[in-house]
Structure 1
Amino acid sequence: MARRKKIYEGKAKILYEGPEPGTIVQYFKDDATAFNAQKKDVIEGKGVLNNRLSEFFMTGLNNIGVPTHFLKRLNMREQLVRSCEIIPLEVIVRNFAAGSLAKRLGLEEGTPLPRPIVEYCYKDDKLGDPLVTEEHIAAFGWASQQDMDDILSLALRVNDYLSGLMYGVGIRLVDFKIEIGRVYDGDFQRLVVADEISPDSCRLWDLQTGQKLDKDVFRRDLGSLTDAYTEVAERLGVMPKQATHISKPKLIN
Structure 2
Amino acid sequence: MARRKKIYEGKAKTLYEGPEPGTLIQYFKDDATAFNAEKRATIEGKGVLNNRLSEFFMNGLTAIGVPNHFIKRLNMREQLIRQCEIIPLEVIVRNFAAGSMAKRLGLEEGMRLPRPIIEFSYKDDALGDPLVPEEYIIAFGWASQQDLDDIVALALRVNDFMSGVMYGVGIKLIDFKIEIGRVWDGDFMRLIVADEISPDSCRLWDIESGQKLDKDVFRRDLGSLTDAYSEVARRLGVLPTNGPIGDKPTLIN
Place the TM-score, normalised by the shorter chain, in its bin.
Answer: over 0.9
- Spell out structure 1 runs of 4+ moving beyond 3 A: 243-247
Displacement after TM superposition at 1:248 (Å)? 1.4
Matched to 1:107, the amino acid is: L
Partner of 2:240: 240
- Deviation string 1:115-169 (CA, Å, 9 cap, x unpaired) is 0000000000000000000000010000011100100000000000000000000
Q: Aligned equivalents of 2:236 and 2:46: distance in 1?
A: 16
Identity %: 81
- Deviation string 1:164-193 (CA, Å, 9 cap, x unpaired) is 000000000000000000001111000000
Matched to 2:71, the amino acid is: L
Partner of 2:25: 25
TM-score when scaled to structure 2? Answer: 0.99
Displacement after TM superposition at 1:199 (Å)? 0.0
- Deviation string 1:60-107 (CA, Å, 9 cap, x unpaired) is 001100000000000000000000000000000000000000001000
* 2:102 equivalent to 1:102: yes
Q: Aligned equivalents of 1:121 and 1:244: distance in 2?
A: 39
* 2:88 equivalent to 1:79: no
- Contact 2:171–2:204 (Cα < 8 Å) also in 1: yes
Displacement after TM superposition at 1:2 (Å)? 7.8
Partner of 1:204: 204
Displacement after TM superposition at 1:245 (Å)? 3.9
Partner of 1:92: 92
* 1:45-84 aligned within 5 A: 45-84=45-84
Q: Aligned equivalents of 2:192 and 2:250: distance in 1?
A: 31
Q: Aligned equivalents of 1:245 and 1:155: distance in 2?
A: 32
- Contact 2:31–2:40 (Cα < 8 Å) also in 1: yes
Partner of 1:142: 142
Matched to 2:91, the amino acid is: V
- Contact 2:45–2:247 (Cα < 8 Å) also in 1: no
Q: 1:2 and 1:249, CA in 2 relative to 1: closer, same or farther beyond 3 A?
A: closer
Partner of 1:167: 167
- Deviation string 1:173-220 (CA, Å, 9 cap, x unpaired) is 000000000001111000000000000000000000000000000000
Q: Aligned equivalents of 2:93 and 2:178: distance in 1?
A: 8
The gaps in structure 1 that reach 5 residues or longer are none
Q: 1:87 and 1:245, CA in 2 relative to 1: closer, same or farther beyond 3 A?
A: closer
Q: 1:147 and 1:250, CA in 2 relative to 1: closer, same or farther beyond 3 A?
A: same
Query: Which of 171-180 and 242-251 deviates more?
Result: 242-251
The gaps in structure 2 that reach 5 residues or longer are none
Displacement after TM superposition at 1:246 (Å)? 3.3
Q: 1:79 and 1:150, CA in 2 relative to 1: closer, same or farther beyond 3 A?
A: same
Displacement after TM superposition at 1:241 (Å)? 1.6
CA-atom RMSD in angstroms: 1.0
Partner of 1:184: 184
Matched to 1:192, the amino acid is: I
Partner of 1:4: 4
Matched to 1:85, the amino acid is: E
Secondary structure of the structure 2 residue equivalent to 1:132:
coil
Q: 1:130 and 1:245, CA in 2 relative to 1: closer, same or farther beyond 3 A?
A: closer
Secondary structure of the structure 2 residue equivalent to 1:142:
coil
